[in-house]
Amino acid sequence: MDRVDFLVIGAGIAGLSAAAHLAQHGSVAVCESESAPGFHSSGRSAAFAHFDMDSALVRALTAASMPFLEEPAAKRHPAMFIGLAGQERKLDEVEQSYRAWAPHVRRITAEKAREIVPALNTGNGALVGALLDTEARKLDAHAMLEGHRRLLRDRGGTMAVDAKVTGLRREGDRWTIDTPSQSYSAGAVINAAGAWADKVAALGGVAPIGIRPLRRTVITFDVPEGLDVSSWPFTKTVGSGFYFEPEGRGRLLACPMDEGASEPCDAQPEEEDVALAAWRVEEATTLEIRRIASKWAGLRSFAPDRLPVAGFDPSAPGFFWLAGQGGFGLQTSPAMSLAVEALATRGDWPDELSAVAVTAEQLSPARLR
Ligand SMILES: Cc1cc2nc3c(=O)[nH]c(=O)nc-3n(C[C@H](O)[C@H](O)[C@H](O)COP(=O)(O)OP(=O)(O)OC[C@H]3O[C@@H](n4cnc5c(N)ncnc54)[C@H](O)[C@@H]3O)c2cc1C
């Protein structure tokens, strides 16, 4: 049996970034069910960082993370939030919420938005205005995962793949963790199992906190030959609708911002959601989607209040929740891993989080009990 200080379950962005931080304080092993890190949500995201998220807490965590989101894992790329007919109020609200964190964001007219993305339909009030954020970031999920994996290794930590945690029990003041080929004894277990977070807790007899996986669908398609979309911003409706972003010169990635209830699983795109993605883009633009180049789906996992969770379970000693990263887990991972480092080692609360008024209580699983 391997003896470690921290055993992290799940090699997505949450687990790997936390593991790399914790390896500065003690021995760390990461166990991942699949044959490679990032197989589930972390490898299927749209990989963009911006402030237009549902809650002030997520915006604050994003603000604390932005300085860490730099080359090679992140590149500055503009984001544009568009208001379609009927979304005037929502556009005002988003502008307001941006003020605190990103004062550089500018309100622009529908015509100006169309100069930036000429395919947008602006006739008959189809587009009521937009916000332009020139400081947003395009993320590289693979580079982020690989960077943390290397840091973990350099700090003496290990990662096992094809290592699904199948047994979890408290023995004395430690946890015993079983995988098919290896068992571990750990001072603390970090549950970073994404969509499976409640299932992993159940393995150890720990009460669930209500993590809900919601499926989200992505398509890619080619734009007409000769049209170079590589400088188009990440373009997202302020309310329900869609977003798209360039994938190189001649291809766009689009998402209908669907939220289909799902069991934790290897999510696959539903035809209905694929069609919805294409339809919403065609409705709002002059683009015609003749052929879908690729499609996939992933699970975004939410706590009941849609806020992220990091902290020891109030009634299961040594059991640490790192869950509910929703649709913001990549962009908030730098701040969340600082929080995990402080909470799991009972260290000082990071200045980066104090500066944006994020507290341990806001992240604690105790709020969900
Ligand atoms: C379509 C889509 C678009 C998105 N766009 C963005 C975006 O633009 N920006 C952004 O910041 N976020 C985005 N997200 C959200 C982001 O991808 C997630 O918040 C983030 O990846 C969650 O990371 P995680 O590590 O918690 O989960 P995961 O990456 O799912 O990792 C959990 C890991 O735990 C493993 N596991 C589960 N059970 C066990 C077990 N018993 N034993 C061992 N291992 C186990 C799984 O195999 C998995 O690898 C998007 C998500 C989707 C689906």
Distance 43 CA to ligand 1 centre (A): 7
pLDDT tens string 166-209: 999 999 999 999 999 999 999 999 999 999 999 999 999 999 99
Q: Is any ligand 1 atom within 6 A of the Cβ of residue 14? A: yes
- Nearest Cα residue to 51 out of 65, 39, 40: 65
Q: Whose CA is nearest to atom 37 of ligand 1?
A: 193
Q: What tens digit of pLDDT does each residue of 204-255 get?
A: 999 999 999 999 999 999 999 999 999 999 999 999 999 999 999 999 999 9
Q: What is the pLDDT of residue 125?
A: 86
Q: Is the CB of 322 under 6 A from ligand 1?
A: no
State the pLDDT at residue 328: 98
List the chain residues with pLDDT less than 70.
none
* Distance (Å, whole) CA 362 – CA 307: 8
Domains of the chain: 2-42+141-210+305-368 (3.50.50.60), 78-135+212-302 (3.30.9.10)
Distance CA 188, CA 1 (A): 15
Going by alpha carbons, the residue nearest to atom 31 of ligand 1 is: 12
Residue in 41, 294, 300, 301 to alter for ligand 1 test, most ligand atoms within 8 A of Cβ: 41
In the prediction, which pLDDT does 7 show? 98
Predicted local distance difference test score (pLDDT) of residue 53: 80
Ligand 1 centre distance from Cα of residue 191 (Å): 13
Q: What pLDDT does 44 receive?
A: 98
> Is the CB–ligand 1 distance for residue 200 below 6 Å?
yes
- Note whether 41 and 299 are within 8 A (CB): yes
Closest protein CA for atom 47 of ligand 1: 33
CA–CA separation, 187 vs 185, rounded Å?
A: 7
